[in-house]
Structure 1
């Protein structure tokens, strides 16, 4: 649940990431420059802080040597630790060291301790608690091992938390040695280091932003021509063949624009040439169809006369007269279909829609094809509603579509029944024609609507069709704003579905009848 909700929230960002090359380039530039600048800035800040600390350590180490020498000169006058004047000398020495240090490191702390002589109290000026600054480990190193030690400690001194550089050194005397501790605040160094870090941070952020702006500008210079090319290509694909890109300069992008324009010009010439060839082909088909009408009429008159007198001829001549009449019928149908196809191709086909009851149309088609069905041994079953099915259609075109569908079903039914079903809902009306013949192979449900296509060219035709019936039918369906679809499977027959909107001009969304028949045999699974 959480993951799905997270994907929903991030979907706009992921979509923008996939679609925008400029966004990806700028984002990757910002990430890379941020890592580089942050690493470089951290290195600079760390080195600067180390340089400041080393310089301070050198200064304090030098100052510490002088303080140890001065304390030695003052404390070595006393031959023993029980000298009653020794505490006063320690106090005076610490005062002198503090007074001499005010001009160098303001706020520093000086302490002299005597770990081996419990009778000598520690003297610290200013009088503050130094337990957090002078650690037991440091005392052990200085007092017991007699070595110089240093450390950096942060402690609350005088009500303020401050970082100190603490030096400790033994001070030799005639009776042994005492310990001198010198604590210098690093406030100035910390302030300088913070200023350096702030400066590096601000400079790094400004540099990253500048790099992002530069990357955006550079990417825009490259992406903008690509986007222009994409929009121009979309306009070209939409049919606006005169669209071209603007060519500026002589760089690579200008060469791309020039090459794109040359390609568009070549495509325009080829498309115009193909359109002209198609127009000439359509005109040729139309002209030939019209021109053949006149000789066909003359031949038809002569053939009708011969056919009417065939009883008086020899059997061979009478049979020739019958064949001539049949072929003339087929030839006349072919011319009629070619004229209709040419009207569709030229865009001259018009829809003469009116409110029509489709039930009588289906019944009339079945009645007119009853003779063909009887000769083929096919039983045509009608499954029609009891009430009228009213739709705004062109009845002539709908009847022609159904005549083609039912005639093809009878031809391929192989003496099995053909079922014609009519159904309607509020938005659409559908007619399915189901046969149980040879069926269609995979992929043929799309090829079946091509002009002059046959599933089996060697198959004997009983109806004398022209091969244009389904092509004209699909154009009639499209003219209504409807669908004409096919389904078939080898050995299971086929089903064609005509779907039309109830109201002319409405957009179809669904069909009242399924394309795949409900009585299809269930597949056997292993």
Structure 2
């Protein structure tokens, strides 16, 4: 029989919800653990009490059965002793022996079996058998019968007592007690077996069992309730603290816990509120310092625009007239023009960084063909590559690789990656890979230069960081290019990742979602180049 798919999904969802609740709820785990431990303890105590009660009932019943059987045997022997010595009627003496015992057994609740005469020796045998009405002789165990074949001592054993009462039958545990008597008429040995059923003891034991079960269940319910109540008093403030902590983490810095009483929980709430107040004050201070820093950077950048423009105009005049200068002055004019270009680029980058810090950067989304963009960037950087003696190639499919992105920002990312690769390629060539799939588009820039040491791939996107501080920036970079590229990538919801290995070069990979706002799960291009097997350094900036 097959289970419907809907039922299977519902069962799986319910199981997941139950497991989630179990993992997250301390109260549920404490209650269940306490109930399980209480079940083990109560079960052990109940079992011990039942065994003790059962043993006490059985011992009492055995003692009373042996005593009653002995009394009946003594009474029977007295009746036989009162028979005249001239009476040789064995049947009459058997009736005198057996019938009074049967009558008392009927009123007192035990049965009697008379077997005899019993002969001794290797050919021992038993004579006739007489029983109480409705009593089955199978209740006399063979072991007890065999005992009187060659012994005269009284014996007893446990047995099952079978009785026919009206139209039904009763089968209960019981005690069988055997005695030997001698009949004067024929000098024979007769065995009297008394069968005492223990139905009352069984009823008493069942009653005790039900009482213990009821008491155990009620005790477990009480323990579960008390545990739930106690844990609730402890867990509820913890849950409130968790909710307040979540609101604090979400930026609601004014949230506080309500303090009630003077116990440990109240003191914990006071400490929590004090911590939250200190964090709020420090966060406000940091926000104010950050705001001041951003404002300072923005103001400085804007204020430098005017003198830079003036210096730029003067520098352009000197640069255009450098042919009329002596060689030293002409060289100074050229250096001034180069540094002015770099200074202007640095100001532009600082302004862009300040916009990112202020959260004012926005996207102008359009369809961007990364293949065409990669070829255009390679054409733009070709003079720099020829100056370095480096060849830059694009490896991509003929089909366009489209992504919904800000064309200006993606172009800036690729330009920074390619110029950075040319700076570190050391005449070994740079390869730009472009690929895409249904969900993502990716560009990887590979160089075979000095590479990155272990841990440096986590630092390359830091502002003004350089792998070799003594190394000149051939491209005239400001040290902010990769940091701005990372911010541009984050603005698109993409990944910018770096891999490097000393002596084997480096590879930077940009991965963007094909559609704006999409989620990335994997990249169409590998982060580690296919020509390298070991990956001691690699970092995902996402």
TM-score normalised to structure 2 length: 0.85
- From 51, 54, 65, the equivalent of 1:60 is 65
Partner of 1:3: none
- From 87, 107, 115, the equivalent of 2:118 is 115
1:374 aligns with 2:377: no
Query: Which SS does the other structure have where 2:118 is aligned?
Result: coil
1:289 aligns with 2:301: yes
Are the equivalent residues in 1 in contact too, given 2:385–2:422 (CA < 8 A)? yes
Structure 1's 522 and 127: CA in aligned 2 closer, same or farther, altered over 3 A? closer
State the distance in 2 between where 1:28 and 1:356 align. Answer: 60
**Residue 142 of structure 1: CA displacement?**
4.7
1:49 aligns with 2:54: yes
Partner of 1:124: 131
**Residue 358 of structure 1: CA displacement?**
4.4
- From 160, 174, 185, the equivalent of 2:170 is 160
Q: After alignment, is 173-182 or 491-500 more displaced? A: 173-182
Structure 1's 278 and 71: CA in aligned 2 closer, same or farther, altered over 3 A? same
Partner of 1:185: 197
**Residue 57 of structure 1: CA displacement?**
3.5
- From 106, 123, 128, the equivalent of 2:109 is 106
Structure 1's 76 and 513: CA in aligned 2 closer, same or farther, altered over 3 A? same
1:323 aligns with 2:326: no
State the distance in 1 between where 2:67 and 2:293 align. Answer: 107
Structure 1's 160 and 328: CA in aligned 2 closer, same or farther, altered over 3 A? same
Query: Which SS does the other structure have where 2:418 is aligned?
Result: helix
1:228 aligns with 2:240: yes
Structure 1's 322 and 39: CA in aligned 2 closer, same or farther, altered over 3 A? same
Aligned residue pair count: 513
Unaligned regions of 5+ residues in structure 1, if any? Answer: 1-7
- From 327, 332, 336, the equivalent of 2:348 is 336
- From 123, 145, 148, the equivalent of 2:154 is 148
The residue correspondences of 1:446-465 to structure 2 (distance < 5 A) are 446-465=458-477
Structure 1's 155 and 173: CA in aligned 2 closer, same or farther, altered over 3 A? closer
State the distance in 2 between where 1:169 and 1:94 align. Answer: 13
Partner of 2:323: 311
Q: After alignment, is 187-196 or 234-243 more displaced? A: 234-243
1:201 aligns with 2:204: no
1:34 aligns with 2:44: no
Partner of 1:249: 261
TM-score normalised to structure 1 length: 0.88
Partner of 2:491: 479
State the distance in 2 between where 1:111 and 1:171 align. Answer: 10
Structure 1's 120 and 495: CA in aligned 2 closer, same or farther, altered over 3 A? closer
Partner of 2:540: none
Query: Which SS does the other structure have where 1:95 is aligned?
Result: helix
**Residue 359 of structure 1: CA displacement?**
4.6
Unaligned regions of 5+ residues in structure 2, if any? Answer: 1-11, 536-542
1:516 aligns with 2:517: no
Partner of 1:24: 29
State the distance in 2 between where 1:326 and 1:143 align. Answer: 130
1:170 aligns with 2:175: no
Structure 1's 73 and 423: CA in aligned 2 closer, same or farther, altered over 3 A? closer
CA RMSD of aligned residues (A): 3.0
1:91 aligns with 2:98: no
